[in-house]
């Protein structure tokens, strides 16, 4: 009675248009934040899986050393001649190019 037929018929299109900004924001959020983080985590997992004896690494605490032993969950790192520490594989932040320790 008080609502015209034309206004009542356009209600479903208006509902869809109100969700459109939320959908666009989610898509932007995914491509700008979530996807790059997933790619970075994948590269980190591959680097940790490829660790082997002789690799030069930096831990998340800033310790630089050469890998002397690789176990399933832990890595032994030689910091100086005769000084070795054992750290979790997840603590390895970066694998350095060969010869980096000598140039430091």
> Domain limits of the chain?
5-47, 52-103
Residues 4-33 have a mean pLDDT of 79
Tokens 């989610």 — which residue? Answer: 26
pLDDT at 14: 77
pLDDT in tens, 46-74: 999 999 999 999 999 999 999 999 999 99
**What fold characterizes domain 52-103?**
SH3 type barrels. (2.30.30)
Q: What angle do CA 49, 85, 52 make, to 5 degrees?
A: 25
* pLDDT at residue 1 is higher than 60: no
Residues 71-99 have a mean pLDDT of 95
User: Is this structure's pTM higher than 0.75?
Assistant: no
Query: Cα(78)–Cα(85) distance, rounded to whole angstroms?
Result: 6
């Amino acid at each position: 009675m008080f609502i015209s037929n034309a206004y009542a018929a356009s209600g479903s299109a208006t509902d869809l248009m109100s969700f459109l900004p939320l959908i666009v924001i989610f898509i932007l959020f995914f491509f700008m934040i979530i996807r790059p983080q997933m790619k970075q985590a994948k590269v980190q997992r591959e680097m940790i899986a490829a660790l082997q004896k002789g690799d030069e690494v930096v831990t998340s605490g800033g310790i630089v050393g050469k890998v002397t032993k690789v176990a399933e969950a832990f890595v032994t790192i030689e910091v100086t001649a005769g000084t070795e520490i054992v750290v979790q594989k997840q603590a390895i932040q970066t694998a350095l190019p060969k010869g980096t320790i000598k140039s430091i």
